[in-house]
Amino acid sequence: MINLTQELYKFVSTNLSVTSSVERTGKGKGVADCHILGIDLDPVLIVRAEEANKFTSNVTYKCVNYMSDSENTISLYLKQQNRNYFDCIFCFSVTMWIHLNYGDEGLKQFLISVSVQTNLVVIEPQPWKCYRSAVRRMKRSGGNFPKFGNLKMRELVSDIENIFLNECNFIRIEKGNPSTDWGRQILFFKKVS
Ligand SMILES: C[S@@+](CC[C@H](N)C(=O)[O-])C[C@H]1O[C@@H](n2cnc3c(N)ncnc32)[C@H](O)[C@@H]1O
């Protein structure tokens, strides 16, 4: 999360010309006034991310459980930015954790909630084989994922795509070929306007 967010900020702020932001700030064309909120459930990760943050005016990290953002951290951040929604939400390697902890319905609610907060989603679903390893690791450490046995969605790429298409009014605009050792697909969805 740390490196990804920092690199994303560098890329967007130097390479993209975001017309609306340029207009809002009055900065010269080609300089995107990009603001990024990076969230994670793990407070240790957030402290590390804050320590490594080279762009403190534009990149903010917050410890949030996306599934129960009781302090409304995300909507408060948007309000501070004078925005009602994000330009883009990135969900890398997180769907499995939401799914294992909150079940099929939780994953669906997560995707719907993401779709309400943005027009564009970049998402990297973990495939089913990763679930088995995560459950094994959890068992070895003495814990368990009680919802695992009841999960019906197991073709994660198509299941997630179906939710975006059928429940969120989004269309898939790109599907990256797995080109890393990870072998994971990155999917891009856009709100149908
Ligand atoms: C495999 S890591 C991926 C981290 C990061 N997205 C990346 O690509 O480097 C999964 C992360 O999801 C976080 N996570 C799991 N459930 C979450 C939730 N409900 N809300 C926020 N973060 C969550 C975990 O704390 C963990 O750091």
List the residue whose alpha carbon is closest to atom 7 of ligand 1.
1
Question: What pTM does this model have?
Answer: 0.91
CA of 145 to the centre of ligand 1 (A): 16
32, 24 contact by CB (below 8 A): no
Q: How far apart are the C-alpha atoms of 38 and 36, rounded to whole Å?
A: 6
The full 3-state SS of 169-180, as one line of letters, equals CEEEEEEECCCC
- Nearest ligand 1 atom to the CA of 102 is 19
CATH superfamily name and code, 86-193: Vaccinia Virus protein VP39 (3.40.50.150)
> In the numeric block, which tokens belong to residue 189?
């969805």
What value does the mean pLDDT of the chain take? 91
- pLDDT tens readout for residues 38-52: 999 999 999 999 999
CA of 93 to the centre of ligand 1 (A): 7
Provide the CB-side half-sphere exposure for 35 (13 A, CA): 16
Residue 17 to residues 9, 27, 34, 64, 159: CA-CA distances in angstroms?
13, 10, 10, 30, 34
Which sequence spans correspond to the domains of the chain? 1-84, 86-193
92, 103 contact by CB (below 8 A): no
- pLDDT tens readout for residues 2-36: 788 999 999 988 887 655 444 445 454 555 689 99
Which among 1, 39, 40, 184 is the best mutation to test ligand 1's pocket, defined by most ligand atoms within 8 Å of the CB?
40
Which residues form the pocket of ligand 1, taking CB atoms under 6 Å from any ligand atom?
1, 4, 39-42, 45, 64-67, 92-94, 97-98
- In the block, tokens 């402290």 appear at 47
Q: Say if residue 1's pLDDT is above 80.
A: no
The per-residue DSSP string of 54-87 comes to S-TTTEEEEE--GGG-TT-HHHHHHHHTT-SSBS
